[in-house]
Structure formats: C-alpha cells, structure tokens
Structure 1
Amino acid sequence: MWAHSLTAQDYQDLIDRGWRRSGKYVYKPVMNQTCCPQYTIRCRPLQFQPSKSHKKVLKKMLKFLTKGEIAKGNCEDAPMDSLVEDAVAGDFALINKLDIQCDLTTLSDDLKQSLASAEKTKGRGPQKEEPEEFAPAPQREEKLWSGEPSQLMKVLTVPKPGKGADLSKPPCRKAKEIRKERKRLKLVQQSPTGPLRGPQGQGQAPSLGPPKAKCNQPKSLEDLMFDSLPEDAAHKLEVRVVRSSPPSAQFKATFQESYQIYKRYQMIVHKDPSDKPTMSQFTRFLCSSPLEVEKPPDGPECGYGSFHQQYWLDGKIIAVGVIDILPSCVSSVYLYYDPDYSFLSLGVYSALREIAFTKQLHEETSQLSYYYMGFYIHSCSKMKYKMWMF
C-alpha cells in the first residue's frame, strides 16, 4: 500500500505485524508465495551482550581512531573469523535468541544445503581421514554423517603416547589464580600472630571471610564502544542524528555529500550501473517517509519519525544509517558507507551503535526497548550478518 501519512503508533502496529516500509511504500511479504521467505526479527538491546566477533570489530575501530591506518585486509561487513560450519550451526541458536517468525521446515532445508556447501568449500568430505596425531576410538568408527544438521559431531579421539595432558600431574591452573594464592599465603606469613595452628598442630591460613564473588564482569557494549581515546588520537569519529523527513537544516546542508556516498556504495558494493542510483531514486528510497513528526512529552528528546545517523570521521561523512524512531523500537531501514572504509566493518559497527542508541533512548522513554533489523532472508548471503549479530 502507499502511505501518504502515518503516525508513529500506526507504523509501530504495522511493523509488529510483519510490515516494512521502503520510502512511502509499505508492504508485507506473502510467505507462502514468495521465492525467498522474509522473517521479521528484532533484538532486545537491554539483554544484549557483545560476542567475541563484535568485540573484535569495536577494538578494530578503537585502534584505527587511536593509531591511524590499520591493515586493510579483505574485510566484509560481517566478522568472518568463525568457520562456515559454526555460522551454519548457529542458525538454530538464532531462533531462540531472536524474536523471529520463521518456518522451521524451510530453515532446516536451507541448513542442509548450507552444511553441504560448507563441506565443499573447505575441500573435505565427511569421510576424510583424521590427522596422523589422532587415532579414532574403536567404538566410534561407525559412520557419523547422516545428512542431518543435528547429526554433525566431532570424532572422539585419544592421544598417542607422548601426546596430550599428563594425567599423573595435577591439572593446570590459571596464572591469575596462582598469583592470588601466593599473595594470600604471603599475607598470612607476614601477620604478627603468625599462621594459626589447628587442632592437629598443622598450620592453617586464617579465614579471610567468605569468598568474594567475581567482580570482573564482562564489559558492556557502551564500555567497549565509548572507551576513552587519548588526546593525541589520530582520528575523531562523531555520530550525528538528523531528521530526514521533513528535512532539517543540517540534513539539507549535507544532502549532496550524503548522496555521493550512497551513489559510490551502490556502484561498488552492489554493482549498480552509474545511471541507476539517481538523486530522485535516493530521495524516494531513503529520504521520503510517511511518518509524521511527533514530540510527545513522555517521548525521546529527538521525537518520533525518520532520521539519518551520519558518521563523521575527521569532518567528513563516511557512513549513513537510515532509521525510524517509533514508540517501542528503533527500526533500521538501510545503511550505506564510503567503500574506502569497508575495512572497518561498518555494517556490524553501525548495528552495534544503533543498539547502543536504542538503550540510550530507553533511558528517556521506558517503553522504547526493541531494535528491529528488518527482514532476515536465510538464503541470501548479504543477510548473513544479521545472524552473526546475535
């Protein structure tokens, strides 16, 4: 349908029922007819914990801002440090971690194909022999591969003589634990009263109270993202939120620069011909919006509606995230960036920034507590980053 005008709550009700907008065009996929089922997904930012891959992206950005240029390898938007099989196996975990409306049968069929392609990609079949260092246990020599994702398992192995841990020795301990134990014993020996004597005449360390709970809690997303930079940092990154519909003064002032980045992004990343990403197409797709401007007293300071999040690096725009701020969520519409900075994994980084932005808005408006990433299409490789995000 064509939406000439929508209140924020109207679109919130639609988006909760599987609708999305592209400019002023609002649509909902017919799941039993479309060739690529599109599943609505959303994230709970208040419970979100960054993964190891997320931390790598944030640390890479921090290193770039602090020291300057970093190695520009073959980087994609999604962190690719995991094996293909790990990503495929994580599809089932995705169903539990996200609010996802999905057809399990369709996903299961897609997973089988993904697993088969993963085996071919790595150049090894399920019957490849184990390395010489390992000998398969006799009881596990039967066929382990049945074609089902749930049947994929590692072969139990036993080390050859001279390999592996020495069972005659005590298990290894972390160096941190050993240092704490040494410090504890040193404090006991330096005590004026000396070590306490037990009933058996043996030395006992005095009780220092109940063991303290571990205080080394994992760093939050904000701690990792907004870690303080030194004064002599090589670069400065700033994120500005500007209203795109109706266009604010700052949006109008940066329109040409923003459009040129979009044009280069479409041509280099999506291989569009030079005459396709026109200014009118850009305006219709990412600037025009049916959402009305609303600034209720109990809402966020910026109000509800459509916005562009501009990522400014050293005084110039390098990326733009198109978002809608609604009564219950922040909806991510699109992201485009300068291809020269693709080595910074801006797709993942911007999603993390938008999650942090949602948490910031939640502090102003308690009911705003979700982050929508649009549709997830399992068979589309360009959508895989949405799975790796969570």
Structure 2
Amino acid sequence: MVKMAGNNSYTIVEYFGGDDGYRCGYCKNDKGNFSHGMWSHTMTVQDYQDLIDRGWRRSGKYVYKPTLKKTCCPQYAIRCHALKFQPSKSHKKVLKKMTKFISKGELPEGQEHGDPMDSVCEGPREPMKVCPSELKCAAGTDVGRDKAESLPATEAQKESTVPPPASSQASQKDPVCVLSDSKAPKPGDGADPSRPPCRKAKDLRKERRLHKEQTRQHEVSLIKPTPTYTNQPKPLEDFFSESLADDASHRLEVRLVRSSPPSTQFKASFDASYQVYKLYQMAIHKDPPDKPSESQFRRFLCDSPLEAEFSPDGPEVGYGSFHQQYWLDGNIVAVGVIDILPTCVSSVYLYYHPDFAALSLGSYSALREIAFTRQLQKQSPKLSFYYLGFYIHSCPKMRYKGQYRPSDLLCPETYTWVPIERCTGLLDNSRYARFNQDPDAGDNRALKDVGRALVLHRRTVMPYVTYSGKRKGASDEKEVQQYASLVGQHCAERILLYRS
C-alpha cells in the first residue's frame, strides 16, 4: 500500500450524477456523450488507481466514468503490459523516422498528423459548495470523526489489512542467499554437520583426472555453439539511444516536471508549454483562437487533484501528476501529461507543435512513455503497466491504441482485465460488450452496504448511515447509492463524499 501524503489524507469529492448528454468529441454528436462525473478537490494516488481500474478517468480535477450502455461512443479503459511490449513494424518506422530527423535533420515530407488524439473532456467548472476551511481540515489531522462511525470491518477490509510476510534485506538483494538458524560449530566440537564429510586427497585427484579425460573425449559434443542474437528483437530502449550521437543535427531532451503542485521547472516553462498547446488545439482540433485560453489549459492539463506522494518502495520521482516535456534544440515541441500511480503510468493527454506533425509525435511519445514505465518499474516492481486512457472501437480512427501489444481492455461488468484479442470480435458485433465470458464472474468490489460510505458533513467524517439519520428534508439516498455503486465498496469506505 502506498503511504499517503499525510497520515490522515483523504480524497474529497462532490458527485454530479450523469443524466445529461453532452457533445461527443469523437463522432460530434451534440448530445450523445453520457458519463457520470464528480469533482475531486483532493485525491490520493491509491484512490485514483482504484478508480481508473473501475473505468474512471480524470480531466483536470473532474473525474468521470462513461455510461457505456448509453453513450454514443463507448470508451473502454485500456492498458499495455509495458515489460512485455515489443514495437510493431509501424512503431519501428516512427522511431526510425525520429532518429533520422535528429541525426540528419531530415523532416519527412507531407502533412501526416500521426495518430488521432484524444479530445479534452469538457467537465464543469469547480463547484463552490465546499468551504476552503473544510478542505484544509479534512485533509489534515484535525478532522473530526463521528463516534457512530465505529462499525465492524467488512471481510474485504480485514483481508486488505493483513500485513505482508516480512522478508529479510539479504533475501531481497540476493535471491540465492538463504538464511539459516543453524550455528557454526565451535573449535574442538567436531565436524560441521551442515557440510558434507571430508574426502581423501587421493580420491579427489582421481576424480579430477577422470573428469578431465571425459571432457577431452567428448569435447565436440560438450562445446555449445555461441548463441547469436541476430534474430532477437531489438529492445525499445535501443531505438532512443541511437539518436544520441555527438554529431547529430538536432538535440532532443526529455524532461519530467511535476505539474501539481507546480515545481520550479514547471513554472519557468509554463508560458512556452501553453503556447505549444494553443497552436496544437487550433491546428489539430480546429479550435477557434479564443477557446484554448490559459485558464482552460490550467484547468484541464495543469490542475490535478492528486497529492504528491512518496513511498520507500516507490519510484524516486514520487507519485502524482507530471508533464513530460520534449525539448528540441532548446525549445518545447511536445508535452505528454501523465500520472504516476502505484501500479502504472497513466497517459492523460499529448499536445505538440503542429510544425512537427509529420514526426508522428503521438506514437513517439507513447513509446517513450512505455520505456519510461519500464524504467520506473526497476525502482518500483509493482509499477508495470502503461494506461493509454480509453479505447474506442466504434470510432475506427481511435483504434490505434490497440496496437500497443500486449494490452487488455477493462470488462465493464466484472472490472477484470481481458486481453484485447478476446474483446475486439465482441465489439465488432456490438458497441457495448461484456468481455469476461465467465457467466458466474461478478464485481468483487460491488457495493454491499451504502451505509458504510463515508461522507464529509460540517467538517466531520461519518458513515452515511449516521449522516442520513441526522439529515433533514428530502432523502439523498438514491444519489449516494448511485455514486457508491460506481466507485465500489472499497472506495466508498475511503473517499469522502461532500454533503452540505
């Protein structure tokens, strides 16, 4: 379990429901896009990890879950097994194109725009229900907890609180090392019972001669041919190192800067990064000049509810939200917005300077982020997946995400990951599909008791059953029931749902 930013750090959300339809950025349907949404004032990385593993996704501080049975273009969560990934022929073509550009300065002719990109989810602006003092107190150590909250733990909670078996430092560093409780004998106590009995020198010499003779007689059969690696697939990382020659025409540098809370490097490069975003939105998404405003840029791609968190067994850079900036000859040409979470790197958005569209920067940045995930996994073994956001099978131009193999799609009913090869055939026949074909499989984190859902009311954390007993006026149980069923029992018992 990841250690939270503070001992009593909570995720605090306001739920919006999902009855209204909005314009779809993929098929352009004016009111065909349906999703449930909530505003997250603050969120721990573990809570967000659990939410995206239930089909949620963030755009700025707005966290939404597409209503797959109702929306015009169903969006299924997709992840790539970064450690097992091998670039395809088309991926290698993109990598070689970039290498050629950096080394020789040759920009491909034509105006190909590479992969189609995700559209920004137009979530609502920040609601003003929650008083800042309530946020501060709920995020800190002085938050109150209602006495009636002390309910017996569920079976799922009991299981999750069992500590892992302790392992020695020696066994972690050296898998061959085996610790034993047996003690070495003292001088004069006789032979060490843990070691084999002594043998005569004459017998040892005889055995060595015999072994030498056998080796000489069977020399040909014993010598194994030196393995050749000509047929071994080239590691992804090697493609990036090829473009680092001293005499290269261009210099490409990738910098990771924390965007929330904003680091010094992020602040220093903010204006340059925003200008690239503005050009990208106008050229690629055909936005009018006044739409990609600085406030919109901050709201969707800079603001994040995720707390900056660090863990002894986590990556050195920590968890949270970052911008991965691509600097070409001292200028920003592309930016990948990413979240680093306990088990994955999650891609949020990518924007680039339209003058370099021919370099297929959408594909190139995804390959870079897969390599980055592999790098982080060496520091944090659990962090082994690369999440590409949503896969949209009903929109042919958005199927490119399925080319990063091996990859899985999230089953919308059981919330288990299923290899994409077993899913695409189902989606050919129907826009909505259950991927897990086991009829007995269900959601193991399904809501069982809405009364256990935590709420934040008047600066006090309490279970919903306590709050509903105090509440005056119309019941809000239907809304809370819907929210809790979408986030699941585990998250409902950890996340604070704001109640006025």
Instruction: Please give the TM-score of this superposition, normalised by the length of structure 1.
Output: 0.65
Asked whether the 8 Å contact 1:77–1:385 carries over to 2, the reply is no
**How far is 1:355 from its partner?**
0.1
Report matched runs for 1:280-299 at 5 Å. 280-299=295-314
Name the SS of the counterpart of 1:364 in structure 2.
coil
Alpha-carbon distance, 1:72 to partner: 1.9
What is the aligned counterpart of 2:112 among 75, 78, 82? 75
Question: What SS does structure 2 have at the residue aligned with 1:240?
Answer: strand
SS of 2:367's partner is helix
Contact preservation (8 Å) 2:46, 2:341? yes
Structure 2: state its 5+ residue gaps.
1-37, 117-219, 406-500
Name the aligned partner's letter for residue 115 of structure 2: A
2:399 and 2:358 map into 1 onto residues whose CA distance is 18
**Unpaired segments of 5 or more residues in structure 1?**
80-205
Give the aligned partner of residue 369 of structure 1.
Answer: 384
Specify the code of the residue in structure 2 equivalent to 1:294. Answer: E
Q: Is the 8 A contact 2:279 2:354 kept in 1?
A: yes
Aligned to 1:13: 50
- Aligned partner (choices 81, 84, 100) of residue 44 of structure 1: 81
| CA deviation vs aligned residue, 1:178-226 (integer Å, no higher than 9, x gap) | xxxxxxxxxxxxxxxxxxxxxxxxxxxx989555554221111001222
Q: Are positions 1:62 and 2:77 aligned together? A: no
User: What per-residue deviation string (whole Å, max 9, x for no partner) do you get for residues 303-354 of structure 1?
Assistant: 0000000000000000000000000000000000000001111000000000
Q: Does 1:303 align with 2:318?
A: yes
Q: Does 1:24 align with 2:61?
A: yes
User: Per chain length, whose mean CA-contact separation is higher, i.e. which structure has more relative contact order (CA < 8 Å, sep 6+)?
Assistant: 1
Counterpart CA distance in 2 for 1:56 and 1:236 is 20
Instruction: Render the CA deviation track for 1:100-119: whole Å, top value 9, x for unaligned.
Output: xxxxxxxxxxxxxxxxxxxx
State the distance in 1 between where 2:105 and 2:404 align: 26
Residue 74 of structure 1 and its aligned partner are, at CA, apart by 3.4
One-letter identity of the residue aligned with 1:72: E
C-alpha separation between the residues in 2 aligned to 1:336 and 1:385? 17
Equivalent position amino acid for 1:318 in 2: V
Matches for 1:198-209 after TM superposition, within 5 Å: none
Shift of 1:231: 1.5
The count of residues paired between Structure 1 and Structure 2 equals 264
**Shift in Å at residue 297 of structure 1?**
1.6
Counterpart of 2:11?
A: none
Task: Say which of 211, 226, 243 aligns to 2:241.
Answer: 226
Confirm or deny that 1:322 pairs with 2:359.
no
Q: In terms of mean alpha carbon deviation, does 323-332 or 26-35 score higher?
A: 26-35
Q: Aligned partners of 1:56, 1:24: CA distance in 2, in Å?
A: 36
Local SS of the residue matching 2:378: helix
Distance 2:73 2:245 in 1: 47
Aligned residue type for 1:27: Y
Measured in 2, the distance between the counterparts of 1:50 and 1:313 equals 24
Matches within 5 A, 1:84-103: none
2:54 and 2:233 map into 1 onto residues whose CA distance is 35
Q: 1:134 maps to which residue?
A: none
Which amino acid is 1:376 matched to? Y
Determine the structure 2 residue equivalent to 1:253.
Answer: 268
The one-letter amino acid paired with 1:256 is: D
Alpha-carbon RMSD across the aligned residues, in angstroms, is 1.7
Report how far residue 73 of structure 1 moved. 2.1
Residue identity over aligned pairs, in percent, reads 69
* 1:282-310 CA distance string (max 9 Å, x none): 10000000000101121111100000000
Q: Partner of 1:2: helix, strand, or coil?
A: strand
